[in-house]
């Protein structure tokens, strides 16, 4: 508060009318709950915008802007509206070039706050009363949709059937993201109530997520299986082929080895269960594991590089023992009515566990909901390429959804009777758009963490706990221009997982570079998501620019038993790859030693 | 020599709890220690034990010989029991003792016939550490005349048979309804209160002992104690005595003496008072300093202290203390009732209230939605 004037990082250089070369949005046909994805405008200098490198590190192709619309904009806004979150109407996105910035829409009249609060009570209470039944129902709906989409034989479809399937896939994607935010807001409230109660009764709110650790998720099972396959590779003598050489011909090289066939059969058995996942949220332009299992092979190779291996049973047993010990300690520190409230809040959070769901839901929503859209888009693209409408099937990822829908609705059979000239116009723009994406992908790591006016505090608790917009984070960002990151030798952040570690830093700004991480290094990055998880088996500590108690890095570090500091705001600017650094996960500090 | 049936407040000390109940015993001790309390007297539990004529007692025993299951049955039984007790005259020896004490009180206070009193139950087992019986026994405000006082003493005694009191006893223990000798009755001069309420020597919501909380409303304290209004709310730093926060409550009603009704009633609060805080900061600081001293005198156990500021006296002579008791929620230990301490009335079904409602808690403490 003091005398600080608010600091503005101007959005001016990113202000555009077109989202991509040749594309301007027309909003008339696209009603939004609160506001769609847009390019920056000068008015956006008045608000704060956080770079979402956590979910979208490389930028968005045009087709992925539609899935982004469904997810962080429409889904979040509808979720906030229906659940009735009192202080926020959800998140809204702006694009700097192709890169996603995230803002929130505050509810600013008292009447609306009260009306939403009343709605919130009646909506959320029955869900929390039996969360298991509720999530079973929602997960069942999602699973039934995947049963439908995964088993469609797209190549056998008539053009009209295929087009209908793509429309269905988009409709499902949107629905999946409403479910995402509906559940997320419900669980966030439950979690944050526990967090606030802990603070009220003299415990630390930061501890709360560790009370909820140790639950198995689909991804912890995936990682466990990958470690098991690494161990089997050693036993069967195929580990050298996994460690060296390009993943492209890895399969053939393994098959040529004595135990190769056995190991590949086990790999395929694994893939059959675990491959329905994409590498980034909404990025329908990136192959899923079912198409390209390279990320799985990379993970196995990374695990093999760590001689001692990683014992999941030991790690999980340790995580659970640590959790139970912390719960016992907390119970000893409070008494009377406090203890009763603590126990009730803990029980509510064990039954409706955000720390668990935050990982688990990725499998059913974030990393999977876009796969039906991707598959149908690629099949359509293949037919359009055959028909000479586009040069390559993946060209469709460089068309905006309204462009594709306009031309396809006019001529779903792609017979040429309608929209023929339009196809030529669209195809002509693709090379420019590909170049535009590449240009911005390279600029990505140098983009500011925040744009617009950085506030003293942010009212939206989700922005604080998930994205880490704490007072400290904002203060650091406001201040970092004054002394310059070069002068900084100690960074502070949120103490996300306890323990201390000293080691060599590896600064990674995009998940594509994750294979550079060596065993024993300390990972320093903007933030992590599911596809970063394999690295946690080989690193000795983790430091992130963004994040709070509920972020992926915080949760996974506790499961893997390594120290972690998140929400530092500037770690990737201050620390360089090769620096020796010391991470104190209890104090929440990172020191640059040399 | 038999114990006196009626004891003047000036003769009551802390050690008399077994005769007059802890509430009156503490008040007597408070007066003896020099705090300003309203003058009065107590009818002992022993004097009231067995006052009921044999026939009425037999009838009560018969009523309670059947097992009671539902709330409706319990209520019906309670109504019958109270009607029965209401209709019985007090034994003449007891009635005479009350009349004598009342006359002396009227003389001491200088009010004579116009003396108005509060008739309060003071259960011997009430508000101990084990379970708070707060709100289960009744208080009658603005009673005047010996006949009315005698009637309300019987009603206080009968309030041990109210449905909530019966339910509360069966839930948290306590003597069976027929072992009624644990109830004494206090009769105290009614302070002509400009403002009244409660002071807690810890934050009753958080248990934080570095903070004191004062809640109050215009008029008599009943509107605050019964939870009928959202009172004005102050927090005060224990160490410095400074007022940390002051919040004007949504005080739509107050408890005021209604001359026509001959008793205190809950009435709409005049608009010009609703918007004003009912205490000055100086009064708040004084109340807190006194409450801390009372806590000290009570062995350092956190207390809630009922207070009233008299209308026509100069500060600080205007400030009266009406009762104090250990704060049960934060000092009761794991066996205590798991409900947040507040001036709200005890819930009729204490076990039905969850220890923690994440939704309401999130609304107030995370999303910071103000209470309407």
The pLDDT score that the predictor gives to residue A101 is: 95
Flag if A336 and B207 touch (Cβ within 8 Å): yes
Q: What is the per-residue pLDDT for B335?
A: 35
CATH architecture of B6-189: 2-Layer Sandwich (3.30)
Sheet holding A48-51, edge to edge: A7-9, A450-454, A48-51, A99-106, A88-96, A38-39
Any A CB within 8 A of B332 CB: yes
Task: For chain B, say whether A120 makes contact (Cβ under 8 Å).
Answer: yes
Inspect the interface and report whether the beta carbons of A114 and B369 lie closer than 8 Å.
yes
Q: To 10 degrees, what angle do helices A110-129 and A76-83 make? A: 90
Nearest CA in chain B to A188: B362
Instruction: Provide the number of CB pairs (under 8 Å) joining chain A to chain B.
Output: 101
CB-based contact B332 A337, cutoff 8 Å: yes
Q: How far apart are CA B319 and CA B291, in angstroms?
A: 12
Contact B359 A110 (CB under 8 A): no
Quote the minimal CA–CA distance from B260 to chain A in Å: 40
- pLDDT of A475 reads 84
A307: exposed, middle or buried (C-beta count within 10 Å: 0-12, 13-18, 19+)? exposed
Most confidently modeled of A110-124, A271-285, A321-335, B235-249?
A: A110-124
List the CATH code of the domain at A468-592: 3.50.30.10
Tell me what pLDDT residue B137 has.
Answer: 60
Give the integer Cα–Cα distance in Å for B72 and B78.
10
**pLDDT for position B156:** 81
**Residues in Cβ contact with A163 at an 8 Å cutoff, skipping those fewer than 6 apart:** A380, A408, A412
A464, A196 in Cβ contact below 8 A?
no
Q: Which of the listed ranges A43-57, A237-251, B220-234 does the model predict with the highest average pLDDT?
A: A43-57
Residue B2: predicted pLDDT: 57
Q: Which CATH architecture has domain B193-366?
A: 2-Layer Sandwich (3.30)
Residue A62 pLDDT more than 90?
yes
Q: How far apart are CA A23 and CA A21, in angstroms?
A: 6
ipTM above 0.85, yes or no: no
Nearest by CB to A335, from B334, B339, B363: name it: B334
pLDDT at A365: 94
Q: Is pLDDT at A557 greater than 50 in this prediction?
A: yes
Residue that wins the pLDDT comparison between A103 and B180: A103
Q: How far apart are CA A437 and CA B345, in angstroms?
A: 65
Q: What is the pLDDT of residue A252?
A: 84
| Average of per-residue pLDDT across A337-357 | 91
pLDDT, average across residues A85-99: 91
Give the pLDDT confidence score for residue B169 in this predicted structure.
53
Which chain A residues are closer than 8 Å to B328 by Cβ?
A: none
Query: What local confidence, expressed as pLDDT, does residue B339 receive?
Result: 34
- In Å, how far is B339's CA from the nearest CA of chain A? 7
Dist CA B363 CA A189 (whole Å): 8
For a pLDDT cut of 90, what percent of chain A falls above it? 45
CA distance A311 to A307: 12
CB contact under 8 A, A345 and B370: no
* Interface with chain A: mutation pick from B340, B342, B363, B370, highest number of A CBs within 10 Å: B363
- Of A270-279, A303-312, A337-346, which range is least confident? A303-312
Which residue has better confidence, A406 or A218? A406
CB-based contact A369:A173 (threshold 8 Å): yes
Domain extents for chain A?
7-159+379-392+400-446, 218-312, 468-592
- Taking CB atoms and an 8 Å limit, are A201 and B207 in contact across chains? yes
Predicted local confidence at residue A301, as pLDDT: 80
CA neighbor of A449 nearest in space, from A104, A39, A105, A100: A100
B43 vs A309, more confident:
B43
How would DSSP label each residue in A235-285? HHT-HHHHHSS-GGGHHHHHHTSTTHHHHHHHHHHHHHHH----SSTT-TT
Cβ separation A117–B355 shorter than 8 A: no
For residue A17, CA distances in Å to A26, A263, A370, A426 come to: 11, 53, 27, 19
- Report the pLDDT averaged over residues A401-414: 88
Torsion sign over Cα A208, A209, A210, A215: positive
**Distance to chain B for A335, nearest Cα, Å:** 6
Question: How far is A303 from A299, CA to CA, in rounded Å?
Answer: 6
Can you tell me the distance from the alpha carbon of A477 to that of A568, in angstroms, rounded to the nearest whole number?
Answer: 9
A197 touching chain B per CB within 8 A: yes
How confident is the prediction along chain B (372 residues), in pLDDT tens digits per residue?
457 889 999 999 988 888 898 889 999 999 999 899 999 999 988 888 778 887 887 777 777 666 666 666 777 777 777 888 888 888 888 899 999 999 999 999 988 888 999 998 887 765 443 333 444 567 788 899 998 999 888 888 777 676 656 655 555 444 455 455 567 899 999 999 999 999 989 877 677 788 898 989 999 988 887 777 778 889 898 888 888 888 888 788 888 888 888 888 888 888 888 889 999 999 999 999 999 999 888 888 888 899 999 998 899 999 999 988 877 655 543 333 333 333 333 333 334 456 889 999 999 888 888 887
User: Cis ω on the peptide bond leading into residue A558 (within 30° of 0)?
Assistant: no
Q: What is the mean pLDDT of residues A268-291?
A: 85
Query: Any idea where the domains of chain B sit in the sequence?
Result: 6-189, 193-366
Tell me what the pLDDT averaged over chain A comes to: 87
pLDDT at residue number A417: 56
The sign one gets for the Cα dihedral B334, B336, B342, B344 is positive
Q: Which of A339, A459, A461 sits opposite B334 (nearest CB)?
A: A339
């Amino acid at each position: 508060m003091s005398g600080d004037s608010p600091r503005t990082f101007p959005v001016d250089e990113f202000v555009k009318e077109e989202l991509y070369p040749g594309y301007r949005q027309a909003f008339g046909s696209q009603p939004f709950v609160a506001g769609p994805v847009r390019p920056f405008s000068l008015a956006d200098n008045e608000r704060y915008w956080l770079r979402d490198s956590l979910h979208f590190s490389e930028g968005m192709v045009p087709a992925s802007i539609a899935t982004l619309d469904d997810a962080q904009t429409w889904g979040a806004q509808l979720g906030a509206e229906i659940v009735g979150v009192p202080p926020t109407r959800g998140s809204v996105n702006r694009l700097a070039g192709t890169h996603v910035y995230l803002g929130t829409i505050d509810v600013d009249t008292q009447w609306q706050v009260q009306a939403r609060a009343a709605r919130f009570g009646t909506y959320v209470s029955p869900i929390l009363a039996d969360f298991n039944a509720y999530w079973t129902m929602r997960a069942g709906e999602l699973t039934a949709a995947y049963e439908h989409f995964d088993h469609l034989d797209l190549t056998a479809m008539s053009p009209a059937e295929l087009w209908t399937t793509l429309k269905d896939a988009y409709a499902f994607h949107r629905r999946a993201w409403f479910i995402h935010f509906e559940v997320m807001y419900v669980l966030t409230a439950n979690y944050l109530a526990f967090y606030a109660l802990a603070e009220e009764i003299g415990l630390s709110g930061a501890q709360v997520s560790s009370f909820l650790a140790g639950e198995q998720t689909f991804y912890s099972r995936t990682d466990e299986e990958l470690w098991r396959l690494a161990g089997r590779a050693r036993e069967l003598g195929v580990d050298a082929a996994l460690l060296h050489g390009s993943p492209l011909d890895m399969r053939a090289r393994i098959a040529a080895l004595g135990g190769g066939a056995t190991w590949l059969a086990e790999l395929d058995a694994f893939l059959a269960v675990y491959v329905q996942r994409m590498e980034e949220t909404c990025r329908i332009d990136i192959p899923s594991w079912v198409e390209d299992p390279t990320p799985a092979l990379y993970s196995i190779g990374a695990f093999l590089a760590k001689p001692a291996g990683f014992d999941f049973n030991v790690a999980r047993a340790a995580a659970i023992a640590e959790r139970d010990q912390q719960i016992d300690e907390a119970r000893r520190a409070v008494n009377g009515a406090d203890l009763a409230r603590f126990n009730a809040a803990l029980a509510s959070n064990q039954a409706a566990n955000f720390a668990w769901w935050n990982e688990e839901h990725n499998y059913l929503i974030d990393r999977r909901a876009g796969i039906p859209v991707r598959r149908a888009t690629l099949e359509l693209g293949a037919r359009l390429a055959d028909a000479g409408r586009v040069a390559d099937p993946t060209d469709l990822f460089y068309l905006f959804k309204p462009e594709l829908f306009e031309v396809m609705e006019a001529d779903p059979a792609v017979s040429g009777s309608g929209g023929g000239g339009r196809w030529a116009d669209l195809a002509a723009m693709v090379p420019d758009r590909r170049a535009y994406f590449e240009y911005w992908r390279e600029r990505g790591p140098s983009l500011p963490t925040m744009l617009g006016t950085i506030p003293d505090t942010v009212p939206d608790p989700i922005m604080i706990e998930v994205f880490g917009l704490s007072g400290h984070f904002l203060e650091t960002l406001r201040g970092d221009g004054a002394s310059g990151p070069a002068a900084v030798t100690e960074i502070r952040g949120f103490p996300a997982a306890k323990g201390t570690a000293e080691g060599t830093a590896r600064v990674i700004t995009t998940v594509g570079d994750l294979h550079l991480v060596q065993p024993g290094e300390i990972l320093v990055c903007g933030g992590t998501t599911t596809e970063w998880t394999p690295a946690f088996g080989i690193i000795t500590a983790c430091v992130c620019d963004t994040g709070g108690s509920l972020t992926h890095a915080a949760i996974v570090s506790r499961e893997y038993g390594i120290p972690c500091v998140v929400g530092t705001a500037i770690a990737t600017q201050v620390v360089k790859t090769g620096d020796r650094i010391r991470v104190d996960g209890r104090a929440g500090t990172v020191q640059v030693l040399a | 020599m038999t114990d006196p049936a009626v004891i003047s407040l000036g003769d009551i000390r802390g050690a008399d709890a077994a005769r007059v109940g802890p509430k009156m015993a503490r008040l007597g001790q408070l007066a003896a220690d020099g705090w300003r309390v309203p003058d009065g007297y107590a009818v002992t539990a022993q004097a009231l034990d067995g006052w009921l004529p044999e026939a009425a007692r037999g009838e009560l025993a018969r009523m309670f010989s059947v097992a009671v299951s539902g709330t409706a049955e319990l209520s019906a039984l309670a109504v019958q029991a109270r009607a029965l007790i209401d209709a019985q005259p007090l034994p003449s020896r007891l009635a005479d003792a009350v009349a004598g004490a009342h006359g002396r009180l009227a003389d001491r206070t200088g009010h004579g016939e116009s003396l108005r009193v509060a008739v309060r139950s003071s259960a011997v087992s009430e508000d101990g550490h084990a379970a708070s019986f707060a709100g289960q026994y009744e208080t009658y405000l603005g009673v005047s005349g010996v006949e009315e006082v005698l009637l309300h003493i019987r009603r206080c005694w009968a309030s041990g048979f109210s449905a909530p009191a019966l339910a509360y006893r069966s839930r948290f223990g306590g003597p069976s309804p027929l072992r009624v000798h644990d109830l004494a009755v206090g009769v105290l001069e009614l302070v002509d209160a400009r403002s009244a309420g409660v002071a807690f020597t810890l934050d009753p919501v958080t248990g934080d002992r570095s903070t004191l909380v004062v809640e109050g409303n215009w008029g008599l304290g009943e509107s605050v104690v019964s939870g009928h209004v959202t009172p004005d709310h102050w927090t005060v730093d224990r160490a410095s005595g400074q007022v940390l926060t002051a919040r004007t409550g949504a005080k739509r009603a107050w408890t005021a003496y209604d001359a026509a009704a001959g008793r205190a009633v809950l009435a709409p609060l005049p608009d010009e008072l609703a918007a004003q805080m009912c205490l000055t900061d100086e009064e708040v600081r004084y109340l807190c300093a006194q409450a801390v001293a009372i806590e000290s005198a009570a062995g350092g156990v956190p207390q809630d202290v009922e207070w009233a500021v008299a209308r026509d006296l100069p500060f600080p002579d205007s400030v009266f203390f009406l009762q104090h008791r250990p704060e049960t929620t934060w000092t009761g230990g794991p066996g205590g009732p798991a409900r947040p301490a507040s001036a709200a009335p005890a819930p009729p079904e204490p076990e039905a209230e969850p220890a923690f409602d994440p939704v309401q808690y999130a609304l107030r403490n995370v999303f910071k939605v103000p209470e309407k």
